[in-house]
Structure 1
Amino acid sequence: MELNAKIFVAGHRGMVGSAIVRRLAERSFSNVVVRSRTDLNLLDSAAVRDFMASERPDYVFVAAAKVGGILANNLYRGQFIYENLTIQNNLIHSAHMAGVQRLMFLGSSCIYPKLAPQPIKEDYLLTGLLEPTNEPYAIAKIAGIKMCEAYNAQYGRQYVSVMPTNLYGPNDSYDLNNSHVLPALIRKFHLAKLAHAGDVTGIAADESRYGAIPGDILQSLGLVREADGALVKASEPGPVLLWGTGTPRREFLYVDDLASACVHLMEAGYDGPLVNIGVGDDVTIRELSEVAKAAVGYSGEVVFDVTKPDGTPRKLLDVGRLESLGFEAGMPLADGVRLAYADYLQGKKI
Structure 2
Amino acid sequence: MVASDGLQFTPGELDRDAVFYVAGHRGLVGSAIWRRLEAAGFSRLIGRTSSELDLKDRDAVFEFFAAERPRYVVLAAAKVGGIMANSTYPVDFLSDNMRIQVNVLDAARSVDVERVLFLGSSCIYPKFAEQPIREDSLLTGHLEPTNDAYAIAKIAGILHVQAVRRQYGLPWISAMPTNLYGPNDNFSPQGSHVLPALIRRYDEAARSGAPVVTNWGTGTPRREFLHADDMADACLHLLEHYDGPEQVNVGTGSDVTIAGIASVVASVVGFTGATEWDTSKPDGTPQKLLDVSKLAEAGWRSSISLEEGLRRTVEWYREHVGKLRG
Same fold (TM over 0.5): yes
- Correspondence for 1:95: 108
- Correspondence for 1:75: 88
From 253, 256, 267, give the equivalent of 1:283.
256
Determine if the alignment matches structure 1 residue 261 to structure 2 residue 274: no
From 248, 252, 266, give the equivalent of 2:225.
252
Counterpart of 1:139 in structure 2: which amino acid? I
SS of equivalent to 1:341: helix
Displacement after TM superposition at 1:271 (Å): 3.9
Aligned positions of 1:2-81 closer than 5 A: 2-81=15-94
Greater CA deviation, 158-167 or 260-269?
Answer: 260-269
Counterpart of 1:122 in structure 2: which amino acid? E
TM-score computed with the length of structure 2 as normaliser: 0.93
Counterpart of 1:268 in structure 2: which amino acid? H
Displacement after TM superposition at 1:36 (Å): 1.2
From 186, 193, 196, give the equivalent of 1:183.
196
Question: CA RMSD for the aligned pairs?
Answer: 1.1
TM-score computed with the length of structure 1 as normaliser: 0.87
Query: Aligned partners of 2:236 and 2:227: how far apart in 1?
Result: 15
Unaligned runs of 5+ in 1: 197-236
Change in Cα spacing, 1:238 to 1:300, as seen in structure 2 (3 Å) is closer
Displacement after TM superposition at 1:99 (Å): 1.5
Displacement after TM superposition at 1:269 (Å): 5.3
- Correspondence for 1:299: 272
Contact 2:198 2:265 in 1 (8 A): yes
SS of equivalent to 2:101: helix
Determine if the alignment matches structure 1 residue 311 to structure 2 residue 324: no
Counterpart of 2:53 in structure 1: which amino acid? L
Query: Aligned partners of 2:307 and 2:297: how far apart in 1?
Result: 26
Query: Aligned partners of 1:338 and 1:156: how far apart in 2?
Result: 44
SS of equivalent to 1:158: coil
Counterpart of 1:315 in structure 2: which amino acid? K
Determine if the alignment matches structure 1 residue 174 to structure 2 residue 147: no
Determine if the alignment matches structure 1 residue 111 to structure 2 residue 84: no
Query: Aligned partners of 1:32 and 1:268: how far apart in 2?
Result: 20
Displacement after TM superposition at 1:238 (Å): 4.5
Larger Rg: 1
SS of equivalent to 1:149: helix
| Length, aligned pairs only | 310
Displacement after TM superposition at 1:273 (Å): 1.9
